[in-house]
Structure 1
Amino acid sequence: MTDTTDTNTASPASPATGHWRLDADRSSVRLRHRTMWGLVNVKGAFTRVEGDGEVRPDGSAHGNLAIDAASLDTGNRKRDTHLRGPEFFDVENHPRIVFTVTDASPEGSGAARVNGVLTIVGRSHPMTFTARLDEVAKDTVTLTAEVVIDRHDFGMAANPGGMMTGAATVSVAARFTRH
């Protein structure tokens, strides 16, 4: 990738123009969902994630975040095996969850409006949400966001015993380094 950032004078509130790569070791994608008829929060994390992006001269950006669906860890091996199966993430046929950022634009006050497409188990849906810029330095930027996802939008309708209620909340902390 060619670095075009030498003459950029980005403000401390926005990342510099150029190519950025996700620092997977300093990033996290966490999931929580109510179960047991809304009485218990099941929490988990996807442990393998990658991504990249590009910040344009006008401050807008595009890129992608790819998650290894089989890396979901809820701390319960039996539950994880079930979630990786055909009723939910179907990792054998759909090993990756991908969010493609079509446009991210600064909103001011350390926030960005993110537009993109989320693909899970081969089904794609547009999404828009606000991400917070928690750290912006010369060669690093960290964005955080919480996104509510309705699993039914992606064909994950299994609900053993009627125990699962509502949508899942995905919390993302994505740290990028400039390349």
Structure 2
Amino acid sequence: MTVAVETGVWQLDPAATTVALSHKTFWGLVAVKGTFAAIAGQGEVGPDGSATGTVTLDVTSLDTKNAKRDTHLRSADFFDADHHPEITFAVHGARLRDGDTAHVDGQLTVRGISRPQSLTARVTAADAGALTLEAEFTVDRAQFGMGWNQLGMIRGLTTVTAALRFTRAVA
């Protein structure tokens, strides 16, 4: 599919958006999965077709279907939600390529630590009023100060999967 995205401001539709993470634990035998329920964001497409924007996740909305684990993930051992309640991805530049893919450069901020992050997103639906992007990328949690690893149970990278639905903001 070849996509043409209208210039202007686009607002994230949290009801039609999902952001999830998955990380192998217990020496790679079990995958812990969770989703963020509270997601916000917006973007702007310029006349040249490039885009900028921000997606924000409320750390306290992370749900792994295990209340005790969720409480631990919100603690200072991991996300430190009391001091850093949000995860942000600030897109500095995104440009459509090859019809339905976009190269995205931005900055991921977790626990107050920012790192550059590049990824490829795929446009899975688009019309004049709405756009859906899907992406999957990995993050090294140690780069964001999350070094807790009792008995060496948590190794490797965390996979982030996102399906972001944007609607065109009314002028």
Scaled by the length of structure 1, what TM-score is found? 0.92
**Aligned residue type for 2:124:** D
| Counterpart pick for 1:141 among 131, 136, 151 | 131
**Pick from 15, 19, 26: which aligns with 1:36?**
26
The CA deviation string for residues 58-96 of structure 1, in whole angstroms up to 9 with x for no partner, is 111000000001110000000000000001000000000
Bigger shift: residues 104-113 or 93-102:
104-113
Matches within 5 A, 1:47-66: 47-66=37-56
Aligned to 1:162: 152
Report what 2:90 is aligned to.
100
Check conservation: 2:137, 2:159, Cα contact below 8 A.
yes
1:57 partner amino acid = P
For residues 14 and 138 of structure 1, the distance between their equivalents in structure 2, rounded to whole angstroms, comes to 9
CA contact (8 A) 1:43 1:74 kept: yes
Q: Return the alpha-carbon distance in structure 2 between the equivalents of residues 29 and 178 of structure 1.
A: 20
Contact 2:2 2:99 in 1 (8 A): no
Aligned match of 1:27: 17
CA distance in 1, matches of 2:136, 2:4: 20
User: Which residue is equivalent to 1:7?
Assistant: none
- Tell me what 1:17 maps to: 7
Q: State the secondary structure of the residue aligned to 1:81.
A: helix
Identity of aligned residues (%): 47
8 Å CA contact 2:2–2:100 kept in 1: the answer is no
Instruction: Report what 1:151 is aligned to.
Output: 141
Distance (whole Å) between structure 2 residues aligned to residue 173 and residue 28 of structure 1: 5
Cα deviation digits, residues 42-65 of structure 1 (max 9, x gap): 100011000000001111100000
Stretches of 4+ aligned residues off by more than 4 angstroms: none
2:16/2:165 contact within 8 Å kept: yes
What CA distance in whole angstroms lies between the structure 1 residues aligned with 2:57 and 2:110?
Answer: 10
The CA distance in 1 between the partners of 2:98 and 2:81, in whole Å, is 38
Query: What residue number does 1:46 align with?
Result: 36
Shift of 1:14: 2.5
Question: Is structure 2 residue 80 aligned with structure 1 residue 90?
Answer: yes
**SS of 1:16 mapped into structure 2:** coil
Give the equivalent residue in structure 2 for 1:112.
Answer: 102
Counterpart selection for 1:121 from 111, 114, 121: 111
Hey, what's the Cα distance between the residues in 1 that align with 2:2 and 2:53?
21
Give 3-state SS (helix, strand or coil) of 2:60's partner. helix
Secondary structure of 1:38's aligned partner:
coil
